[in-house]
Amino acid sequence: MSRVTSDGREPALLDRLEQYYDAVPRPSARVEEFGPLTLFVKEGRGWPFYGRPARGWQGGVDAADVARVRTRQRELGVPESFEWVAETTPALRAAVEESGLVVHEHPLMVLFPDAPAAAGPEVAAGSPVRILGPDDPTLPSASAVQHLAFAEPGTGVGSADVADVAEAVRARLADGSAEYLAARIRKGLTVMAAAVQDGTALCAGQHQPVGAVSEIVGVGTLPAARRRGLGRAVTAALVADARSRGVRTVFLSAGDVDVARMYGGLGFRRIGTALIAEPAE
């Protein structure tokens, strides 16, 4: 069992996640060091990366350090964003906010090795859930569904429906996003699961294994198909796949407390707060 401090932190587990956070962008990014901060610069297609605390840094961090990274991000034409764990690097929040960025909080949750398997139905609301290979014809719609889901955040039923998926698929094919995702699956960097109905994904998500640790990311349901248990079923499928690969630590950052409750029903437990900083809208 992990040692727990008086403030509820589990240092060994949090350090394991720090190792993961530092490792997972490296296959697809150039790394630039700025003293207490590391900037991962995306190379090729895909979502742009971010700045985060430098692995093993023992000194302090201030707004000037953050400003240097933001200047470099502007030079590169990438988003001015930072990601870190509040409990691991508590001083960074004040420096980031002093620099003018807005900080968003997300529950950081872990499924511990001794937790029961996250059981989920193989079919949710009439939509079979499966792991998608790189040549699966459903893969472009799975990528499109994630895009539509996060464009319309929240857990309530929304307006985007199957008719919108086809248009989003065309965009993902045209900009190379679907091809990029297939390449990551081939390399073993990403595993995609989807709930599928009539050949179209209604919900999709990924996990990204690095050794014995994997993060579940991007679980999103087509807004018109929400409230059917699809997100829960896709998450359960991702957990099962991660465990089949020998992953012992499965974790995620929930969008908000309502989403966190759903993950709690699958056995995830909150261990901290993931922070994302970006300019005010």
Give the model's pLDDT for residue 8. Answer: 45
Q: In whole angstroms, give the CA distance from residue 161 to residue 146.
A: 12
23 φ, ψ (degrees, to nearest 5)? -85, -35
Phi-psi region of 14 (alpha: psi -120 to 50; beta: other; left: phi over 0): alpha
Angle at 134 between CA 129 and CA 139, to 5 degrees: 50
Q: Are 273 and 107 in contact (CB under 8 A)?
A: yes
Residue by residue, pLDDT tens for the chain (281 residues) are 344 443 445 779 999 999 999 999 999 999 999 999 999 998 877 778 999 999 989 899 999 999 999 999 999 999 999 999 999 999 999 999 999 999 999 999 999 766 665 544 455 556 799 999 999 999 999 999 999 999 988 888 888 999 999 999 998 888 888 889 999 999 999 999 999 999 999 999 999 999 999 999 999 999 999 999 999 999 999 999 999 999 999 999 999 988 999 899 899 999 999 999 999 97
Place of tokens 């307006």: 159
Which H or E run contains 83?
Answer: strand 82-85
> Coil, strand, or helix at residue 9?
coil
Parallel, antiparallel, or unpaired for β 123-124 and 127-132? antiparallel
> Coil, strand, or helix at residue 80?
coil
Query: What is the sign of the dihedral through the CA atoms of 239, 241, 243 and 249?
Result: negative
Q: In whole angstroms, give the CA distance from residue 188 to residue 53.
A: 26
Q: In whole angstroms, give the CA distance from residue 83 to residue 45.
A: 20
Q: Exposure of 262 by Cβ count < 10 A (0-12 exposed, 13-18 middle, 19+ buried)?
A: middle
Q: In whole angstroms, give the CA distance from residue 241 to residue 243.
A: 5
pTM: 0.90
Parallel, antiparallel, or unpaired for β 269-278 and 102-111? antiparallel
Q: In whole angstroms, give the CA distance from residue 66 to residue 8.
A: 28
Q: Write out the DSSP string of 222-247.
A: -GGG-SSSHHHHHHHHHHHHHHHTT-
Going across the sheet that includes 29-34, the strands are: 29-34, 37-42, 51-53, 82-85, 269-278, 102-111, 249-253, 213-221, 200-210, 191-197, 127-132, 123-124
